[in-house]
Amino acid sequence: MSKLGRHRKRAIEDVDIDLVPIMNMFLVLIPFLLMSACFFQLKAINTSVPVLSEAANDVSKKEKLKVTVIVQIEKDRISLSAISDSVRPEELDKWGGQMIKGEKEAYPLDEVSICLQKIKESYPASDTVIVIPGEDVIYDTIIQTMDVARFCKSTPLFPNVVLSGKVG
Amino acid sequence: MALGKTRKHTRQFVPPKIQITSMMDMFTIIIIFLLFSFSDKPEIIQMRKDIKLPESTANMDYKENIKLILSQTSVQLEDEVIAKLKDGKVIGLNPNKLKQSTLYKRLIVYRYNANKSKTDGENKNNVLFLCDKRLPFKTINSIIKIAALAGYPNFQFGVLKKES
C-alpha cells in the first residue's frame, strides 16, 4: 500500500470521544439541581392590620388630596367607599357604590377595578386601600380583590393594602 | 471440512457500543431546564401537600420572615404545630382571650429573641403568612389578630405567581 493510501484510510476513521466522564458529571448535577429546583414561584403581598398610633400632623401636605378607599367584601356584594381628612364628605359620597354578585357567579372585580381607577385618577396621591372581608369570604377572594386594588395591569392604584376585620 | 468451514465463520466477540449521544442530548436539555428553574431564594420553603396557596399577580419576592402556616387542619409557626383546626375553628382558642393562646406566647418569645439579637440587623420583623385559599376570613382574622397583638402587624401574604 502506498503512503497516500494509508493517510486516506486514517482520515476516514471515526474519532470516538469519551463521553463517560461528562455523563458522570451530568448524573451528579441532575440530582443536585433537582433538589434545589423551584417549580412554583412563591411571591408575597405586603399588607398590614390597623394599629393604634398617634395622629400624624401632615399640614404641609394638605394640598395633596388623599383618600383612603374602603372595599367591603360581603357574601353577595362588594361595597366601595372613600374616607379622607382633606376632602369634603359630600364629594366623597359620590365614590360610594355596590357591586352585586350573582348566586353562582364570581365577584364583579372588573367593575371594582374601573371604580378604583376613577378614584385614583381624581386623587392621584392616594395609595391606601382598606379591605374588609365578611366572615365567610374565603382567602382566595381576598387575594383577588387585593390584586385588583393594588394594580391595574402594570399601573399602580393603591399599593398599600390594610386588611381589617369588620367592627361591630 | 465442514467443521473447518464453521470454524472459519465464527467471529470474535466484539463488545457492543452503546449509543450514548441521544442520552447526552436528553441530559443536556434536563440540565438547562433545571438550571433555569434553579432557586436562588435565601431559604427553601417546604410546602405541605394539604395547602393550596392562592394565585396572584404579585411580583414581590418574600423576605426571611417568621413563617406562619395556616392549613385546613392546623396552625403552624415555623416548624412547630401550634394548634389544630376543626371546621374552620382553632381548637382551644377563646376569641375573647387571644393573649392566652399558645400562638401569642410563642410569638412573644420570637419577638423577645429578635430584640435581643438586634445587632446583626437582619431581624425577622414581619410574618410570612402562608394560608390555604379555601379558608374563610373568620379563621384567618383570629390568627392575624393574635400576630398583631404580639407585635407583628405587618404581614407578607405568600401567594403563587399567576401564569400570564
- pLDDT score, position B29: 92
**pLDDT of B97-148, one tens digit each?**
888 889 999 999 988 888 877 655 556 678 899 999 999 998 999 899 999 9
Q: How far apart are CA B98 and CA B92, in angstroms?
A: 11
What is the model's pLDDT at position A42? 80
What letter does residue A160 receive in the DSSP assignment? E
Q: Which of B47, B162, B144 is CA-nearest to residue A50? A: B144
For range B23-49, the mean pLDDT: 78
Q: Look at B155 and A49 and tell me if their CB atoms are within 8 Å.
A: yes
Chain B residues within 8 A of A38 when measuring between CB atoms = 37-39, 41, 44
- Dist CA A136 CA B4 (whole Å): 93
pLDDT tens sequence across B56-94: 988 888 887 888 999 989 999 988 899 998 888 888 888
The continuous run of DSSP H or E covering B90 comes out as: strand B89-90
Distance, in Å, from the CA atom of A75 to the CA atom of B88, rounded to the nearest integer, reads 17
A79-82 long-range contacts (CB < 8 A, ≥24 apart) are A80/A112, A80/A115, A80/A116, A82/A119
Query: In the numeric block, which cell numbers belong to residue B118?
Result: 438586634
Contact B34 A47 (CB under 8 A): no
pLDDT for position B131: 92
* Concatenated DSSP letters of A46-88: EEE-----PPP--GGGTTS---EEEEEE-SSEEEEEEE-SSS-
User: Cα(B51)–Cα(B42) distance, rounded to whole angstroms?
Assistant: 22
- Determine the distance in angstroms separating the CA of B62 from the nearest CA of chain A, rounded to an integer: 5
Q: What percent of chain B has pLDDT over 90?
A: 20
Residues in chain A: 168
The answer, yes or no, to whether ipTM is higher than 0.95 is no
Please compute the mean of the pLDDT values over residues B30-44 and round it to a whole number: 74
Phi, psi for B128 (deg, rounded to 5) = -90, 110
Chain A residues in contact with B145 (beta carbon < 8 A)? 49, 165
Distance CA A144, CA A155 (A): 16
List all residues 6 or more positions away from A102 whose beta carbon is below 8 Å from its beta carbon: none
Position A62 scores a pLDDT of: 46
Instruction: Nearest chain A residue to B28 by CA: give it.
Output: A26
Beta bridge partners of B56: B161
Question: Which own/partner contact pairs does A51-58 have at CB distance under 8 Å and 24+ positions apart?
Answer: A51/B148, A51/B153
What residues of chain A score a pLDDT lower than 70?
1-13, 52-63, 167-168
What is the torsion angle, in degrees rounded to the nearest 10, for the CA atoms of residue B68, residue B71, residue B76 and residue B78?
-50
Which of the four pLDDT bands, split at 50, 70 and 90, describes residue B21? Answer: confident
Of A27, A37, A51, the CB nearest to B37: A37
Q: B9 versus A111: which is more confidently predicted?
A: A111
In the structure grid, which three cell numbers stand for residue B22, read together? 441521544
Q: How far is CA A134 from the centre of its chain?
A: 21
Q: Test A30 with B148 for CB contact under 8 angstroms.
A: no
